[in-house]
Chains A and B, each alone.
Chain A
Amino acid sequence: AQSVTQLGSHVSVSEGALVLLRCNYSSSVPPYLFWYVQYPNQGLQLLLKYTSAATLVKGINGFEAEFKKSETSFHLTKPSAHMSDAAEYFCAVNQGFQKLVFGTGTRLLVSP
């Protein structure tokens, strides 16, 4: 069964610092992988997705993620954190029929 593991339930950074949120996947076939973001009291929205077209994927709000098959990873990065990036981030893998399996989430805290 396909699954994803997010390392770190909380990540704290200073404004302007690099953001790195980790996600490792387990899949027997080439996966479709996603990062979603959830702002307080809202639903999830898609940040970016990997569908095998390119290993480096750029998303909204300056985020990007790199698919590394050798490391079974799909880590999310942003060069410079902004206060508005504070949210919870979920990695997910597609099981088919658009059924997504989500990781447990990483809450990003950004301090001034």
Chain B
Amino acid sequence: NAGVTQTPKFRVLKTGQSMTLLCAQDMNHEYMYWYRQDPGMGLRLIHYSVGEGTTAKGEVPDGYNVSRLKKQNFLLGLESAAPSQTSVYFCASSYIEEDTGELFFGEGSRLTVL
């Protein structure tokens, strides 16, 4: 059982380049999220989705776009990367039943923007 899988795990970009991070979950979860983790700032929510075809903004959405065309996949895109987007990105998913906050996380994608 793979759980939540993120690709790629590492990426180096130049300022202005674009890229897409892919998150796939095999637990049939309705909710999916993208967080970024920066030293001393904890995890901050970028975008989330409450079901296939839906997306919503989180706390720090600027500079990112997302799509949820299939229930099992949640894509995070950077159209024009900036050094401020250097971070570790985590995808997570959760059940719709019981609003209990148990999220299942991927292992992270480390992005460096030069």
Given A43-B106, A44-B105, A45-B105, does the pair A98, B40 have CB atoms closer than 8 Å? no
Contact B31 A43 (CB under 8 A): no
Contact B42 A102 (CB under 8 A): yes
B90 contact from A9, A43, A98, A105, Cβ within 8 A: A43
A34, A41, A98: residue with the most chain B Cβ atoms closer than 10 Å: A98
**CB under 8 Å from chain A, chain B span 44-71:** 44-45, 48, 50, 58-59
Taken together as a complex, chains A and B put the C-alpha atoms of A54 and B21 apart, in Å, by: 39
Contact A97 B48 (CB under 8 A): yes
**CB under 8 Å from chain B, chain A span 25-81:** 32, 34, 41-46, 49, 51
Chain A: which residue is nearest B6 at the CB level? A43
Given A102-B42, A104-B41, does the pair A41, B100 have CB atoms closer than 8 Å? no
Contact A51 B107 (CB under 8 A): no
Q: Collect the chain B residues with CB atoms within 8 Å of residue A45's CB.
A: 105
Contact A102 B103 (CB under 8 A): no
**Interface residues in B, total, Cβ within 8 A:** 27
Contact B100 A100 (CB under 8 A): no
**CB under 8 Å from chain A, chain B span 88-114:** 90, 92, 94-95, 99-103, 105-108
Contact A44 B42 (CB under 8 A): no
B99 contact from A34, A94, A105, Cβ within 8 A: A94
Taken together as a complex, chains A and B put the C-alpha atoms of A92 and B35 apart, in Å, by: 13
Chain B: which residue is nearest A33 at the CB level? B101
Q: List 28 contacting pairs A-B, 8 Å CB cutoff, sorted by A.
A: A9-B40, A32-B100, A34-B101, A42-B107, A42-B108, A43-B107, A44-B90, A44-B92, A44-B103, A45-B105, A49-B100, A49-B101, A90-B42, A90-B43, A94-B99, A96-B99, A98-B31, A98-B95, A98-B99, A98-B100, A99-B33, A99-B48, A99-B58, A100-B103, A101-B59, A102-B44, A103-B42, A104-B42
